[in-house]
Homo-oligomer: A and B are copies of this chain.
């Protein structure tokens, strides 16, 4: 089997760290691994499979030496790095929003639209962490009947905003118990013992960019520009694991049984749905799990063609790192490299 040279940009971040552990777990065929992060981490050593790797600066030499370049840093880093890496012959798999809506860039969840990888031009985007699990569920349900409309309200963990956001939650909780002043710098407000109905900045429509991303990315991935979809994205004081209350309206009635079997048969989805024994998806149970967990499936009492459900998903894994690695695996298996 061929082995590949990888560069991981953002290797010290929340997603980068999970990325490295998944590479190891899945025995990704690596020839050479090179790690990059922000300037303050230069020279820092990170262990991978028992050997130390130094954090290096991003150089043309490094990019041209790479088969795959994974970027999970800021949109700025992606904008500065991805086109150059592609020009130098690497395949970039990018976790930022920078290129997601670019028509020449495939936006991919392998279980849903791996075929879109066929027309890549060196850059492939992965969706926002709240979009990925939603599209997986909608894709399967869309096989049963045409989906007309989707309403989704999210319960997103702080790790979606990076490691510093997790530390800020911890320090706010400690401050709260010590009755000292609570400071917020990563989150727009106190997140400890609170929920914040804002992720990313606002658009003039009154939606946040996080919500607009969810809407537009879902349409692109499902090839459904006509899909009617609305989202409210909310940060909750959970460390890992995004959850979503999803309301789907079809063009005809869909039975709970059909919906459950379709989802249960899908790759990457686990059904956790035993209400009588209080079993349903929750963030604490999805941490470190690859699958999107779906439960609380029920016929919507407000619409004969409606289905309501609840999902939880490890936002750092399937919501980011795992999805990126699965894209690279798809590219290899489809001989697109």
Contact = CB atoms under 8 A, between A and B. Distances in A.
Contact of A232 (B215, B238, B308): B308
Contacts of A298: 205-207
Interface stretch (A37-45, A59-67, A99-107, A149-157): A149-157
Interface in A201-256: 202, 205-208, 215, 228-230, 232, 234, 236-239, 243, 245, 247, 256
Q: How large is the interface on A (under 10, 10 to 19, 20 to 34, 35 or more residues)?
A: 35 or more
Interface stretch (A9-17, A126-134, A274-282, A314-322): A274-282
Copies of this chain in its oligomeric complex: 2
Contacts of A173: 173
Contacts of A150: 302
A113 interface: no
Contacts of A239: 193
Given A150-B302, A173-B173, A190-B284, 14 more contacts: A151-B247, A151-B302, A197-B280, A197-B282, A197-B295, A198-B280, A206-B275, A206-B299, A215-B301, A230-B303, A232-B308, A234-B243, A237-B237, A237-B238
Nearest to A157: B193
A193 B306 CA distance: 31
A243 B303 contact: no
Interface of A: 149-151, 153, 155, 173, 188-190, 193-198, 202, 205-208, 215, 228-230, 232, 234, 236-239, 243, 245, 247, 256, 275-276, 278, 280-284, 295-303, 306, 308, 310
Contacts of A208: 275
B228 A303 contact: yes
A206 B281 CA distance: 14
A236 B206 contact: no
Contacts of A245: 153, 197, 232, 234, 245
